[in-house]
Each structure stands twice: as structure tokens, then as C-alpha cells.
Structure 1
Amino acid sequence: MCRWLAYAGTPVLLDDVLYQPDHSLIDQSLHSRMGVETTNGDGFGIGWYTPEADSPAVVRDTGPAWNNRNLREIAQHVRSPLFFAHIRASTGTAVQQTNCHPFRHGRWMWMHNGAINEFNRLRRELCLAVDPGLFSRIEGSTDSEVMFFLALTFGLDDDPPGAVARMAGFVERTGREQGVRHPLQMTVAVSDGDRTWAFRYSSEGASRSLFYSTRFDALRVLHPDVRFPRGLSEESRLIVSEPLSSLAGAWNEVPEGSYGAVRPDSDILRPFEPQPA
């Protein structure tokens, strides 16, 4: 599978999040502790928003993150209030740049850990459900990108939680009609540059790991000697496939079958269930 993180809050250097923590995403690319695979070396990607641009910048490559000099260079010079990072372990599709996350369409970014089980059997029917006006924008061959474009088709612009629920419902219905017992496994992050949503769900009720950070003002009280939380607003949040450190009280597990939203005004955490498309 894969590992990913999403950050939203006070603008920070990407390096502070991607490289500096003890169990950073870069460390996880070689030494994942909670993923299906220990090594996630089938490509990586980062995407970030800036106030000056209408859409996010995205950089992706097919090599491993742990020794990529360009990624290190970017991370040491880019500061952003909202960014995604993803390290890939392929579930069967090709190791190529267009299959690396995050995926982008307009102002939206999307990344995924998990799989559509027996995707090759279901792919044609799933792709035929994508809006014809969007279909030509699919560049790669992954189930993750098809999920993104199904969510766009089912109303992501107007209702992100509902669109993802309808996408999940359609994938499950399609899979079960073809005899796939547990069609969907997913942790998903999606953002429009203002708000970020994260989803944890699987058809079998045993989803991949997902955590969110404790408020940074609380972390400063718990761990005054730790450098990273200093200067970050209490609204700043990290959502991660697995914790970036072993700091007591720093991480909270996202409940099974739920979704959360990080918003400028308030955060939410609610149950998630697939819906009919």
C-alpha cells in the first residue's frame, strides 16, 4: 500500500514536516511500522498551495523518496499553509509518474492509501461512470485516480463528503455485482486549498491506519522542549497514515468508518457510510 500526510495551518517549510520528525514520512519510505509493506519506494509526490495561485503545485517522481535530491531541495525552500505528501507502494499498476499521488484537477488535490480489490475486473465499468467531460483528464492507470474522478463526477465541488460517499457506494455496488466480497479499502485525503477532508473506510471494516495531531497549543504544554510545535497556531493540523513521532499525547487515531474536515473556522469528525451514487 502507501503512506501519506496532509498538513494545514500556519505556513511551514515542507522540510520541517517531511524530514525533521523522528519517524518522518521520508523515514517511513524505508521503515514503515504500520503499513502493509515496510518499504514504500514505488514513487512519491508532493503538492502544495500558495496564496498567489489558483491551483496547487504538484511534483511527482517514480523513484524512492529517501534519496531524491530534488525533493530535499524543494522541501528546504518551499513554505506552504496546506500541503500533501505521499510515498507509494504499488498494488499492481505500473511504476510511472502519472500513477504517483497526489492527483490534481483544478483546485482539487487527492491522495489515497488502499485499493479497489480486483480493480482490473471492475475497471471498465468504473471508468464508464466518469463524466465524459472529465474522462480525458485521467492520465494514469491506478484505481486511486479513478476514485478521484468518480468523486468529481458525483459532486465533489459542491459536497465533498457526499461525493466521496457516493464514490464508495458505487465502487462497492460494482464490486459486489461482480462477486468481489470486500471491494474497497481506503484512507483518502482531498482538499480544495481552503478545507481538507480525510476519510477512513473499508468494506471489511478493517481499514488502514490513520491519525490526526493533537492541538499544537496543547502539545507545547505537554512537550515544551520540542521544537516543531513552536510558532504554529492552535488550528494547525497534521493527518498521517502513521505517527511521525512517539511523543505522548501527540496523535489520535481516526475512528474506523469516519471522516474529518480541517476548516479555517472549525474541525469536524463524523461517521462515514457509502451512499448510492
Structure 2
Amino acid sequence: MCRHFAYLGDEESIGRLLVEPPHGLYRQSWAPRRQRYGTVNADGFGVGWYAPGDPAPARYRRAGPIWADLSFADLARVVRTRALLAAVRDATLAGADAEAAAAPFASGRWLFSHNGAVAGWPDALAEVSRALPPRDLLALEARNDSALVWALALARLRAGDDPGQALGDTVLDVASAAPGSRLNLLLTDGETITATAWGDTLWYLAEPGRRAVVASEPYDDDPRWLTVPDRTLVSASREDVLLTPLKDLAEDLAPAPNEEPRT
């Protein structure tokens, strides 16, 4: 389906994070090692990064394969950042949205990516989408499942949910409406990384006080990479990484025996 990657840590060039590693996201666009669905991620790519003193990230997105974009190679060599989210895309369905369909999606300080697919799209999410204000639906960047999943998560963030609750609740709602969906979500504000493992591979590498990386698969053979169990929420900062089973969130949302259901 896709491969994605988020980084918090010491300042590095985009190229050092994505292009130079022997199995980095750049190479994963044509030779992923652990991708379960699809083999080549050539239907677009995107990079979002944070510059010092500016909470709103910059983005560079294209509709074609990352290896064919010579401008990206030049940009990646010189642009440096302490926080980044990037993705390469294998489209589930062909569409006409070009680079607008490529992650990362953005709003304010947030960057977001979805690795997976919503089963039964678009019919399966017809009811779930009714929870969104009409303006949010009209403002979708693209007509694909990832853009709608982002809108659902963003609505929760705007309502005041913390990132973990926003992604966890979104995954549970979408999975309930569309069983069999693959919902590996990735979110950052430049200070934290929040992710879900739901149906596809996810790994993390942590060096407390220096860096945290969350990615679809390792970019090298460092033995410190750890796999994230399926149906798990990841909350990472430069200091630590916390894993929470998503089933615990489901239990938290369930009403107690004598409690009125939440609305």
C-alpha cells in the first residue's frame, strides 16, 4: 500500500534521513523489505518538515515516484530539520487527484499519513462521514480514503482530543464501520509522534534524549529497531516511546454496566 516515516531528533538533512540509509524510504519506494500489500510505491510521495521558529511545517509533494524527481534529490541534500514526516504511495485505486492525494496531509502544525486501505471504500464510511461538518467534507484535499480518515482524526484534534485519543478513536470507528481495513496512521506536530499499528508493519527506534523514529520498516539493520505489535497505539517524543494496546482504548470507551452510553 504505502510506506511512511516520522523523525524527531538532532538536526539532520532530509537526504540523510530518507535517501542515504541503505533501506531508507527512498529505496522503499521500489524495494521495500517488509511490505505486505503491494510491491512498488510509485504513485506519489511527500515530505513535510519543520523549520526552526516556525510551528507550521513545509511540504513537498509530487504525483510521481520519488526516484524520478531530480528537484527532490537536490532539496533533500541541503534542507535540514529536527522533525519530519514522509511517505511514498502505492495507490489503492487510481484517481485524478495527483499530488493532492499524496501524504503528508497537513493542517496548522499537524502532519498526517495513512498506510493501509479502508475496506469497502467509499460506501463503508458513508455513515461515519456524517459526523463531519459539511465544510470539512467540502475541504477534503483528495477523494481518497486517506484524506477522509485524516478529516475524521483532525475533527477530533480540533475538538480538543489529545493525539493518542484522536487517532485511537478514529481507528476504532473506521474499523467498526469497515472491518478488514488496514489503518496504520502517523501524526506529528514536530514535538511528538503518534501512530497506530492496525493491519500492517510498524517499527520504532528510540535513543532517549537524542531521537525517536517511527516507520513502516527499518531503514537499516540496527538491532535497536523494535517492532510494534498489531493493534497498538504509539506515542513518542525525543525522550521516550510508549506503546498502548488499542483494545484498552476500546474498553475505556465502553460504558460501565450501570453507566449511560456516551454520546
Instruction: Give the TM bin, normalised by the shorter chain.
Output: 0.7 to 0.9
2:145 to 143, 154, 168: 143
SS at match of 2:54: coil
Counterpart in 2 of 1:173?
A: 176
Say if 1:214 and 1:108 are closer, same or farther in 2 by CA, change over 3 A: closer
SS at match of 1:138: coil
Letter paired with 2:218? P
Structure 2 runs not aligned, ≥5 long: 254-262
1:41 counterpart = 2:42: yes
Q: Distance in 1 between matches of 2:24 and 2:231?
A: 26
Q: CA deviation at 1:264?
A: 4.4
Q: CA deviation at 1:265?
A: 4.8
Q: CA deviation at 1:133?
A: 4.4
Counterpart in 1 of 2:15?
A: 15
SS at match of 1:7: strand
| 8 Å CA contact 1:103, 1:111 repeated in 2 | yes
Counterpart in 2 of 1:132?
A: 134
1:196 counterpart = 2:199: no
After superposition, residues 99-248 of structure 1 pair within 5 angstroms as: 99-155=101-157, 157-175=160-178, 182-201=179-198, 207-215=199-207, 234-247=209-222
- Could you give the per-residue CA deviations for residues 88-122 of structure 1, whole angstroms, max 9, x where no partner exists? 00011416111100000111110010011011212
Supply the RMSD in Å over aligned alpha carbons. 1.9
Letter paired with 1:241? S
Counterpart in 2 of 1:227?
A: none
Q: CA deviation at 1:125?
A: 2.6
Counterpart in 2 of 1:262?
A: 236
Q: Distance in 2 between matches of 1:28 and 1:114?
A: 15
Letter paired with 2:113? M
Q: Distance in 2 between matches of 1:114 and 1:140?
A: 16
| 8 Å CA contact 2:6, 2:188 repeated in 1 | no
Q: CA deviation at 1:165?
A: 2.0
Letter paired with 1:187? N
Letter paired with 1:210? L
Q: CA deviation at 1:143?
A: 0.8
Counterpart in 1 of 2:100?
A: 98
Q: Distance in 2 between matches of 1:244 and 1:264?
A: 19
Q: Distance in 1 between matches of 2:206 and 2:8?
A: 13
Letter paired with 2:187? V
Counterpart in 2 of 1:222?
A: none
Q: CA deviation at 1:243?
A: 1.2
Q: Distance in 2 between matches of 1:257 and 1:137?
A: 30
TM-score (norm 1): 0.83
Counterpart in 1 of 2:77?
A: 76
Paired residues in the alignment total 248
Q: CA deviation at 1:234?
A: 3.9
Q: CA deviation at 1:251?
A: 1.0
Counterpart in 2 of 1:272?
A: 246
Letter paired with 1:113? N
Structure 1 runs not aligned, ≥5 long: 176-181, 202-206, 216-232
SS at match of 2:184: strand
Say if 1:137 and 1:38 are closer, same or farther in 2 by CA, change over 3 A: same
Between the aligned residues of both structures, percent identity stands at 29
| 8 Å CA contact 1:168, 1:184 repeated in 2 | no
